[in-house]
Structure 1
């Protein structure tokens, strides 16, 4: 079944690496996002370990569809117009031994939207990013050019017309009259 939305198929590569320095006293290994690559038929559909040695391991997770939705054009615009546009990957640790006899990082979803990544981070999810290749950035920019409508700039009211408020948001007043103290005498 094909999607009515522009989409691209990708695979995610996760890497387990040994932690160096003082932090290694508490945790000897960590998982990190290594790359997002174009999906290839040879990858199959199941995650698999690409290599494992005393320095770490690398896993390929194929079969992710990244779709672009016109109602999130602002999120794509924010990504496409940064100095380093990127893929965002939400991943979780898979504790049960479905893939390996030890916990493995398992990507859940891949996006090009800043808004999606922001919502996931707000929900305390693990989200990492890697640079998107030039061809993907060009594809994303073409979508943004077609669908993004900048919000109209609203005229900002001059500061002199804003009511004076105290730090609690209550109306405040300024006076030069002496409020307390003794008189002159």
Structure 2
């Protein structure tokens, strides 16, 4: 039985000109191209009125058998591919961000959001990809049975760890206890 399933997805990023004294452009992921070929350089797809769209990278979207619950959560809402973008540290590059990861896991994307170092964009998942993820979940998802733990009786629990004082046996019978 397969443990994972992988498909290449092209990441389409949009650069929008801003009228802002501190920032020239805003970057966002706008779509994915299922089965896209590998690209070595960013390819300009569209350009109009201060907006440019690029096929920035082709990343592998991998589904894992142990994460089907997260995929089902994603499919239950508005199905999305989560694209993680990182700041580009290359000073010679004209692109401020680079695509780092594409995932269908809502939980994994939340982990990247919590770190605060990356930008996470939810891109609408294409219909064919929805069917592909749903098929994987149908084959591999197993509901975990909730087992409520039983509480132990606190009166007996206390005796397990308490040290009993040593008592003189003769005085204990007479009703007066004396510590030894």
- TM more than 0.5: yes
Judging changes above 3 Å, is the alpha-carbon distance between structure 1 residues 40 and 121 closer, same or farther for their aligned structure 2 residues? closer
Match of 1:31 among 27, 31, 42: 27
Structure 2 match to 1:106: 98
Larger radius of gyration: 2
Map 1:107-122; keep pairs closer than 5 Å: 107-122=99-114
Distance change (3 Å), C-alpha of 1:141 and 1:39: closer
Equivalent position SS for 2:128: helix
Q: Where in structure 1 are there 5+ consecutive unaligned residues?
A: 158-185
Q: Give the distance between the partners of 1:57 and 1:104, measured in 2 at CA.
A: 14
Taking structure 1 as reference, are residues 28 and 71 closer, same or farther at Cα in structure 2, changes over 3 Å only? Answer: same
Give deviations 1:63-115, integer Å, cap 9, x for gaps.
21111110111111111222x1000000012142454xx34321001000012
Matches within 5 A, 1:1-185: 5-19=4-18, 24-41=20-37, 44-51=39-46, 55-82=50-77, 84-97=78-91, 99=93, 102-124=94-116, 125-154=118-147
Aligned to 1:165: none
Please tell me whether the aligned partners of residues 92 and 105 of structure 1 are also in contact (alpha carbons under 8 angstroms): yes
Change (3 A) 1:141 1:53: closer
Say whether the 8 Å CA contact 1:39–1:62 is kept in structure 2.
Answer: no
State the distance in 2 between where 1:33 and 1:16 align: 9
How many pairs were matched up?
148
Q: Give RMSD over aligned pairs.
A: 2.6
Q: Is the 8 A contact 1:50 1:59 kept in 2?
A: yes
1:54–1:136 CA distance, 2 compared to 1 (3 A): closer
Residue 10 of structure 1: how far off its partner (Å): 0.8
